[in-house]
Amino acid sequence: MATSNDLLIKQRSVIEFLAAEGCSAANIHARMKTLYGEMCISDSAVCKWVRIFKGEDPIETILRDRKRSGRPLSASDTAHREKVDCMIRANRRVKQKEIADQVGISKERVHHIVTTLLGYRKVSARWVQRQLTVEMKAQRQDMCTQLLERYNAEGEAFLQRILTGDESWVHDYDPECKAQSME
């Protein structure tokens, strides 16, 4: 299976060849649509590449994207993610600005790491996980495995001793201000 980058390079090669033969951009896109189907690039991208290929010498044409200036996105790597997660676990009331200053990355990257990669959200000045953590899922899986093993060992007698009810999780903390007590 070809990667999306390989597929783009193949499509650009087709555009280059057909543009050299003198085909119009609309004709090229229609022919490519029958070949590539849903994976075909847009008609505006075909027009852009036809303009590029018609203006350049075919020997000098580079099909791959050229390197762009600017710093690569490196602030969302695992090392930064772990530092941010440790800081939040140590102090759930830590601010994004404080994290950015201590870790040495921008506030925007901190926000992306905290909300998208780590899955936290702010609830009354406190970072709270949106979903179950890996540890919580593992704990629940272990508990279910133990219950299943006991059922296999003891049979129906084990089921007769189980009391069922609604699951409730209670977290104890003292609010520091009035806004936090509204939580």
Q: In 10 A of CB 88, how many CB atoms?
A: 20
Q: What is the pLDDT of residue 51?
A: 84
Only one residue has tokens 């600005």, namely: 97
Question: CA end-to-end span of the chain, whole Å?
Answer: 50
Structure tokens at 11: 């499509």
User: Among 13, 2, 77, which Cα is nearest to 46's?
Assistant: 13
Instruction: Divide the 183 residues of the chain into consecutive groups of 10 and give the mean pLDDT of each group.
Output: 73 85 89 88 88 69 63 73 90 89 88 86 73 83 91 86 66 61 53
Report CA dihedral (85, 87, 91, 97) to the nearest 10 degrees: -110
Does this model's pTM top 0.75? My answer is no
